[in-house]
Every structure is written in structure tokens, then in C-alpha cells.
Structure 1
């Protein structure tokens, strides 16, 4: 089975979509979601019964679980997707994010290293790799082992990666993000505060992390995948009782 997919709207950002996924309607979600929550055996039975629809539905379920603040269940769903369609794994950067929030940092590191083999120009990938390594070992080790990356013009990712490498500053990230028209600024500042919050958390500054994440999830919130990650972060950390 080698189906070509595209990600659902709620699961897209400026990053490239999972190359092996064509996502169908949410109307088919319930049966797969319930099977995921009750165990792999039932999920396998659903796969046999419904054939090619299953990878798309498992992917949708994994994304829904993630945005519902259930990273462990999301990881389980992504893992079942890999069982059903192994060639999807390198493209699943979404799984790497779920692993990070499930505190499975070594597995997250491996996912982002694998993702680099199919998407070497994704500048967010080395950032998440850094975050996983920093949490698993130390920020110093994470800087020494940052993944190389190609060209990507998204603002302010260049400045964010410079900060993560130890060559930049928070001020430079925010200054670059504040350029452009109002809508550009909103999106860029959402990214800036998200990655500044993640960086602060990885370096042990919880209060600064909370301030940045709540800024990304609040005043500069965006309804794309990475914008919604800020909401997930706030929920998982207990910084808000609920983020819609």
C-alpha cells in the first residue's frame, strides 16, 4: 500500500505536508478513534475491513489527539500508522512534536533525524531536534549536535536557529519578526514567541517560557499547525485550564 496523501487543513503550516498522506473527511473518524483508544488489535481489524481509508483516518486521529492535549495517545496513533504504512515514518514531523510533549525526547530526536532525510530544508526540524536533545541531555550538547539545514526563507526562522546555535539573541528574533504588514507580523510573532518559549523551557527558564508561549497562544495566535502547538504547550504544561 503506497497511497499519496495530503494533510488536512488543521494539520498544515508552512512546513511541507506528509508526502504519503491523502486525508479524507472527518466523518469517518469515530470508528478509528475508538479503536485507537481500545488497543491495536481492534485497529488492525478496522484496517482489514476498510483498507486504504485507514492510514488517512489514523493520521487524522493522531492529529486530533495531539490538539486535544493528549500527546501520549497521539504517539500511540502515529505508531499504529507506521505499522499500517511504514513508508510514512520519515515524513511524520507531527509525530516528533507529539513525542516531545510526551517527554519521549530520545525518540523525538530520532524522528527529527529521520525527517531530515526527506525534508532537508525544513528549518523547524533542527530546532525541534535541538529541543529534544537539550531536554534529554543538555542545551550545550544540543548546540554541538544541531542538524544542518538548507535554505528556507520563513521569517524569523533564520534568527531563531542562530539563537539556538548560540550565535543570536532574543532581541534579534523579535526585531526580525516585527517586520512586514500586520498579518505577516502576527504570524511571524506567533512563531517567534513559540520558539523563544520552547528555547527558554529547554534552558530551564520556566517563567520566561510561560510568558512567550502564552503570548504565542494569545495575542499572536494563529490557526495553523504550529500556531496551535502553542495552545497545546499551554494546556499540557497546565498554564491554562483550557485553550480552544
Structure 2
């Protein structure tokens, strides 16, 4: 195993541990649960990560309730994006971002790129000072996905 692989494993372990601590502190944090899953999918694979999925309370945001269920139950990212394509700008952004992240943990990188780039290029992704909008841009930059 290379040093890069060992560092990556260590960072995913640290991330999963931190997200588990965060959910223990706030048992209604949908996104922390999803991010824990994303880390654990890298460590153990999606099936095992799903078995370890953190249960949280009901998120008041419909887009995040649907996103949470998609990761928990193995739903369809295309349906998620379609369901929120004519919603608030932020809902479309979040649906696209999490659809892309879902595809990425499934090792479907072409589909991941389509959705995460769409999130970045969305009105919300371009104009918002939301941390997640910045995260989506950094995600694309790290993968050399062209936003132009």
C-alpha cells in the first residue's frame, strides 16, 4: 500500500469518526450522517457503509430528507435531481451535489462529474456564500473538472 493510500485511509477514518461525534452531539444532523456514510463507503464499501448508516431525526428540508433516504436505502440520484429541478435554487443545488457524491461513492465518476459540475454552475452554486457551494467548487478543482 502506498503512502498516499495510507494517508487517504487515515483521513477517511478521521472524517467518519468526527461525523459520528457530530451526530452524537446533534442527532438531527442529516448532512453529518451522509458525510459519515461517504467516508465509510471509501473505507468499507457502500454495502457495509449502509449497514453502519447513522439514523437521525427528520430534517425540515424536503431535499435533505430525500437525500438522506437515497443514501440510506440506495435510491436513484436521477430521481432526486428531477424531483428538485424546478424547486428553489438551493434545493436544485443540493440535489445535484448529493447526486454527484452518491455516484462518486458508487465509483461512477462520469455521472458524478455531471452532477457536481451542474451544482457548481447552478445559480445558487455560483452566487451563494454557502459553505457547500464552496465545497462543490473545491471538489471539482481537486478532480480537474472544468467549470468553464
TM superposition score category, shorter chain reference: 0.7 to 0.9
CA RMSD of aligned residues (A): 1.9
- TM, length-normalised to structure 2: 0.84
Instruction: Tell me which of 113, 122, 129 is aligned to 2:29.
Output: 122
Partner of 1:202: 105
* 2:34 is aligned with 1:131: no
Give the match for residue 78 of structure 1.
none
1:171, 1:210 → 2: CA distance? 13
1:147 aligns with 2:147: no
Matches of 2:104 and 2:61, distance apart in 1: 23
Q: Does 1:169 align with 2:76?
A: yes
Inter-partner Cα distance in structure 1 for 2:52 and 2:133: 27
Is the CA contact (8 Å cut-off) linking 2:103 and 2:109 kept in structure 1?
yes
The Cα shift of 1:166 comes to 2.5
Structure with more of its chain in helix, by fraction: 2
> Partners of 2:53 and 2:12 in 1: how far apart?
15
Max radius of gyration: which structure?
Answer: 1
Aligned counterparts of 1:122 and 1:158: Cα–Cα separation in 2 = 11
Matches within 5 A, 1:1-244: 103=8, 104-180=11-87, 184=88, 186-220=89-123, 221=125, 222-240=128-146
Normalising by structure 1, we get a TM-score of 0.52
Match of 2:3 in 1: none
Gaps of 5+ in 1: 1-101
Aligned length: 137
